[in-house]
C-alpha cells in the first residue's frame, strides 16, 4: 500500500526522475530512476520516513537493525533509533560492506553483534531483489536470525514480497518500474541516450 506522505516527500526532495534513459545498480535499463541521494541531505524528511518505516515494526521483536552501507546505512541507523524509542529498549544498528570481490560482509566487530540475534534488514529501494538476497545471506552467514525486512520503495512488488522472500517484508510505497537488460532495452533501440548524470550509466 502506498503511503502518499512518503511519495510527496520523495517528489518534494527531487528523488524521483522520470522520462529519461537510466542504468540501475544492477546494470538494467529503465525510464524511471529513484535515488536516496536526493532525500538524505534533507534531515527532517529523512527522519520522518524512517519514523514511518519503524512504525511498521513496532510490535516485532528486534535486537539489531542491519543495512547495506551503500543505500541503507543512514536509514538503518535512524530506524534503529525510532524502534528503540517505540519498544523502550536499545536496538543496535550495524551495516554490511562489499568486498573487492563483490561479497557482502560484516566487519568492525558487527558479526559478533548479530550472532544469535533477531535482525531486521533495512534498505532504500528494491529493484531486482539481488541486494535483498545478499543482505539476508550475510546476516544468516554470521549467525543472525532475519525476522523481517523493510524498504522505502518497492519497485517490483510482484517479484519481491513476504511470500517470495520467505520473511515478513514491507515497503512504504510501491513504484513499479519496468526494467530491461541492455540487449532488449527499447530505449536503446530507439536511440535514446543514456543519462550519465544520474544512475550508473558510463560517461
Predicted confidence at residue 203, as pLDDT, reads 54
Domain that holds residue 182: 4-189
The span from the CA of 120 to the CA of 102, in Å, is: 22
What's the N-to-C CA distance of the chain in angstroms? 37
Which residue in 128, 95, 120 sits closest to 170, CA to CA?
A: 120
Count CB atoms within 10 A of the CB of residue 191.
7
User: How does DSSP classify residue 87?
Assistant: H
Question: Does residue 196 sit within a domain?
Answer: no
CA distance 30 to 53: 26
pTM of the model: 0.88
Per-residue pLDDT of the chain (203 residues; tens, 9 = 90+): 458 899 999 999 999 998 899 998 778 899 988 888 899 999 999 999 999 999 999 999 999 999 998 878 999 999 999 999 999 999 999 999 988 777 888 999 999 999 999 999 999 988 777 778 889 999 999 999 999 999 999 988 888 899 988 999 999 999 888 889 999 999 999 999 999 888 887 75
- Rounded CA-CA distance 60/63 in Å is 10
Q: Is residue 51 part of a domain?
A: yes
Indicate the number of domains in the chain. 1
Question: Which set of grid coordinates corresponds to residue 146?
Answer: 532475519
d(CA 188, CA 179): 12
In a domain, 200, yes or no: no
- CATH code, 115: 3.40.50.2020
**pLDDT value of residue 65:** 97
- On whether residue 198 sits in a domain, the answer given is no
Amino acid at each position: 500500500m502506498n503511503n502518499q506522505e512518503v511519495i510527496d516527500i520523495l517528489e518534494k526532495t527531487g528523488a524521483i526522475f522520470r522520462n529519461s534513459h537510466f542504468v540501475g545498480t544492477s546494470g538494467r535499463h529503465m525510464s524511471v530512476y529513484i535515488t536516496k541521494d536526493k532525500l538524505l541531505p534533507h534531515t527532517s524528511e529523512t527522519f520522518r520516513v524512517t519514523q514511518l518505516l519503524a512504525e511498521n515494526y513496532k510490535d516485532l521483536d528486534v535486537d539489531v537493525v542491519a543495512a547495506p552501507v551503500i543505500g541503507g546505512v543512514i536509514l538503518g541507523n535512524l530506524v534503529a533509533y525510532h524502534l528503540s524509542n517505540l519498544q523502550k529498549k536499545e536496538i543496535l544498528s550495524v551495516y554490511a560492506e562489499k568486498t573487492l570481490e563483490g561479497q557482502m560482509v560484516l566487519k568492525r566487530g558487527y558479526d559478533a553483534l548479530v550472532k544469535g540475534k533477531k535482525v531486521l534488514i533495512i534498505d532504500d529501494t528494491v529493484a531486482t531483489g539481488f541486494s535483498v538476497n545478499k543482505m539476508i545471506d550475510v546476516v544468516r552467514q554470521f549467525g543472525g536470525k532475519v525476522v523481517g525486512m523493510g524498504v522505502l520503495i518497492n519497485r517490483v512488488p510482484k517479484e519481491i514480497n513476504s511470500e517470495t522472500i520467505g520473511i515478513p517484508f514491507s515497503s512504504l510505497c510501491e513504484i513499479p518500474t519496468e526494467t530491461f537488460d541492455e540487449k532488449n532495452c527499447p530505449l536503446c533501440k530507439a536511440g535514446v541516450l543514456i543519462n550519465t548524470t544520474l544512475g550508473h550509466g558510463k560517461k
